[in-house]
Structure 1
């Protein structure tokens, strides 16, 4: 199908995330995290369906993934009725109900009803890397251990699962979904025309944080939603008490809109953009074991409560090294900008040896010193995470992952290898500085027998939430799948 079939088509897209540094610590405003956006993205496509007051939502990659709602406004009050279903979607319903409530407050009943009365079809699709795809690969007779296998999958392929049973890869699918849907609704209702203004991004951020927390039933750290909105950045969380007064199904629409407004200065989250240094490539792999992040987090927080002195000392030390890693990224970007020749030649030389074999040279150039510092300090991050694993009994970096990551670090040109975010058995990442290193790491994954490693194709991408032109090649792919 093409955009010409509809009077009004809107497509919004939001990225997944990888928390390189700051796992667990991002729950506390005292600390920061280094979060990298990914090229794996969610897309929300909205167009009219000419069925008055009806909103149909589809997630075509899943079984039993259609949801229907009736919506209308009476005297500035939203009437929102969900049809009964055997597979309700808390994230979609919460997002629609509260975002439409806010939109009604912002644009008024007349404009709201003019759009709602044309009806809406909403399709939500996620890039293949958000899900393990093992079922589809096996169905096609392709190896789950080869990156080339994933390259043969069609875009937004079927998962052969329901939303409740699908195996995720830990890239933040619910946050990316929520953010793309919130942004698409604001754009569709002409609350704003694009996503170029800071105040518009702030509104998307605040609303997406709220509905994501509401759907989860708790106020989390928020870094995943922040990444979906802003892309790669240093993240410092908002005060969770901002949301406490409005975490209510029957919240007053005026209070809700005021609390989530871009003008509400109580939102004290801090976002400082960052880019991966030139020639750095992030590669990821799915580990088919799975971890329940809330369980890991609750155990770590219990340890922090039971042993506050031990925990605070470890967290402070870990926080300091996390900050050093971020600072190395920033300084390497500056050096590359001012002296690209030295930067490129130094990285080419360093890529010839495993980082564990680099020899510290007091007379080395600035790039060499920064690279040595980055490798050393990130190794310290891993060491402290392993120490926290031992102290809490939580498999933040499980022993099986440690062996695999250490083997990846022996590949010349690999400078970082770790478990993202809360760790566990979901995924691993590596940062490499040459194409040869990328292939070398993937060869290690392919031959690894300790656990089932399946490479993902997505890369680091600094871009946050965006509007997609329906006539663009990506827009046409989305429309065909919707």
Structure 2
């Protein structure tokens, strides 16, 4: 890649279908599904002259927001690459700043200084943009005089302005900060040639390069949030849909204090997969054919850190009670994941039988499958077991709500989810991640089911339910989006 070529990298948003709260504990797994709503980072040469003191300029823009331009100065001395934020900007962005500071500091120890200075000789212009689904579009629809439905959302242009600042925007819970950091870190590493490809003609990164980007993005994300989180959101942004078991938090806790100016060799020793083996577990996953993920955000909102803090407080104070329930919930989650994988296998082994089973099941509410579809075929049996298994999961989550006095599946959400499950062809309905009032997901078997579910959402009176357009995407991040035929690429290059 020459120094004049732009680099565009994207990373997906996520939905934690199973494993809320449990993914904080390395003893339990979660199922995280990637979405086709993605964050994009464009890195390209600019025309900024080097300062008299020998510093290079980087400008980062997020055109969807007001006052979202951040300037940085880069000083290079041997292997030491230091990034300094401008003091004249109207706002600051901790996530962007830390991603640049640590990515470039690490690259200084991986790439010859001549390569770095060549790539940054005229400065860099960086553009970051996320698909509309990452942010609530309610205000935009109101301004356009459009109702809150999918058809209206499709009329909003790609990367639509939010008409507000980054700090005030209403998010939908798809993991925007994790997708942003993953795409930005990856774009910087790849632009400066700090990653290896699988082969001379390949656009796929080597396994170790992918792991290095994952580990770096996890570190930066934890640093920006001020704590070592579960990491499933960054993991999904890198690897797409998968079952996830977290890394031991001690891996990053021991380097959270390291300074980007002096301690990069010590940090690299932890982040480089050739020097430290991380114990996170990633097993690829995909929904079986004709299973469609639907998402909606709820205009009520919950503060996820507060929910998590209160649940963990309950687990600490009532350890025996909590651990018993966590073990039951973990086993129920694992059972649902295993059944979903078996359903995908059944679709491959007996495609015609599978299609017939989906057709029959999509005409009936899931509560009737156990009697109406009993003994029909393997796929029908698996669909019934998945519905029943996830009902068990929801029951345990409601019990956790009761015992911890935390609204994980609040009563209003229960009524909404039950109304969705009464629609023919709805396999699963639940609250993703930490739950609360933020969002819901459904997995449906047909377009008719999808339309009927959206009708339930639009008619629900207890809460304002807004559909999202995104769907499942098994792909992770690190995809080079340089095809000029792609709408996203054209939009990014136009900024």
Range of TM-score over shorter length = over 0.9
2:452 corresponds in structure 1 to 440
Q: Does 1:463 align with 2:460?
A: no
Question: Which of residues 328, 331, 355 in structure 1 aligns to 2:366?
Answer: 355
1:367 Cα deviation (Å)?
A: 0.9
Give, in angstroms, the shift of residue 475 of structure 1.
5.0
Matches within 5 A, 1:351-430: 351-360=362-371, 363-430=375-442
Q: Structure 1 residue 343 and structure 2 residue 354: aligned? A: yes
Give the one of 144, 153, 158 matched to 2:156. Answer: 153
Are the equivalent residues in 1 in contact too, given 2:421–2:427 (CA < 8 A)?
A: yes
Contact 2:374 2:380 in 1 (8 A): no
CA distance in 2, matches of 1:61, 1:29: 37
| Contact 2:74-2:81 at 8 Å conserved across structures | yes
C-alpha distance after superposition, 1:446-465 (max 9, x if no partner): 11111001111000100001
Instruction: Supply the distance in 1 between the matched residues of 2:275 and 2:232 (Cα, whole angstroms).
Output: 19
**Scaled by the length of structure 1, what TM-score is found?**
0.97
- The yes-or-no answer on 1:259 pairing with 2:273 is no
- The alpha-carbon deviation at position 481 of structure 1 amounts to 4.8
1:106 partner SS: coil
Task: Give the CA deviation at 1:368.
Answer: 1.4
Paired residue for 1:477?
Answer: 490
C-alpha distance after superposition, 1:354-411 (max 9, x if no partner): 0012234663321111111100000000110011011111111111111000000000
User: Which residue among 83, 104, 109 is the counterpart of 1:105?
Assistant: 109
Given candidates 325, 334, 340, the residue that maps to 2:345 is 334
Mapped contact 1:238–1:268 kept (Cα < 8 A):
yes
Q: Which residue of 2 aligns with 1:137?
A: 141
Partner secondary structure for residue 78 of structure 1: strand
- Residues in 1 aligned to 2:274 and 2:161: alpha-carbon distance in whole angstroms: 41
Q: Does structure 2 retain, via aligned residues, the 8 Å contact 1:56–1:66? A: yes
- CA contact 1:36–1:232 (8 Å) conserved in 2: yes
CA contact 2:129–2:159 (8 Å) conserved in 1: yes
Helix, strand or coil: the match of 1:424? Answer: coil
2:159 is equivalent to residue 171 of structure 1 = no
Check whether the contact 2:21–2:433 (CA below 8 A) recurs between aligned residues: yes
Contact kept? 1:11, 1:470, Cα under 8 Å: no
Q: 1:430 Cα shift?
A: 0.4
Counterpart secondary structure, 2:399: helix
**Residue matched to 1:212:** 221
How far does the alpha carbon of each residue in 1:161-188 deviate from its partner, in whole angstroms, 9 at most, with x for none? 1111000000000000000001111111
Q: Which residue of 1 aligns with 2:329?
A: 318
Distance in 2, matches of 1:106 and 1:367, equals 50
1:37–1:464 contact (8 Å) kept in structure 2: yes
Give the structure-2-normalised TM-score: 0.94
Q: State the Cα RMSD in Å.
A: 1.4
SS at match of 1:37: strand
How far apart are residue 54 of structure 1 and its match?
0.5
Match of 2:41 among 32, 40, 44: 44
Correspondence for 1:23: 20
- What CA distance in whole angstroms lies between the structure 1 residues aligned with 2:471 and 2:4? 35
The answer on whether the counterparts of 2:98 and 2:224 sit within 8 Å (CA) in structure 1 is yes
Q: Please say if residues 195 and 201 of structure 1, whose CA atoms lie closer than 8 Å, have aligned partners that are also in contact.
A: no
| Match of residue 240, structure 2, among 231, 234, 258 | 231
1:70 counterpart = 2:73: yes
How far 1:477 sits from its partner (Å)? 2.7
Matches of 1:481 and 1:390 in 2, distance apart?
Answer: 51
| 2:200 aligned partner | none
Q: CA deviation at 1:470?
A: 4.8
- Please report how far the alpha carbon of residue 198 of structure 1 lies from its aligned counterpart in structure 2 after TM superposition: 1.6
Rounded to whole Å, the distance in 2 between the matches of 1:292 and 1:219 is 18
Give 1:72 shift. Answer: 2.2
Aligned 8 A contact 1:156 1:481 in 2: no
Structure 1 runs of 4+ with >6 Å offset = none
Q: Which runs of 5+ in 2 are unaligned?
A: 51-55, 198-202
C-alpha deviation, 1:249, in angstroms: 5.1
Q: Relative to structure 1, is the Cα distance of residues 475 and 158 closer, same or farther in structure 2, using a 3 angstrom cutoff? A: closer
Q: Distance in 1 between matches of 2:63 and 2:374?
A: 58
Q: In the TM superposition, what whole-angstrom CA distance separates every residue of 1:91-119 from its partner, at most 9, and x where no partner exists?
A: 00000000111111100322112212221
- Distance in 1, Cα, partners of 2:376 & 2:127: 54
Select the residue among 240, 244, 250 that pairs with 1:241.
250
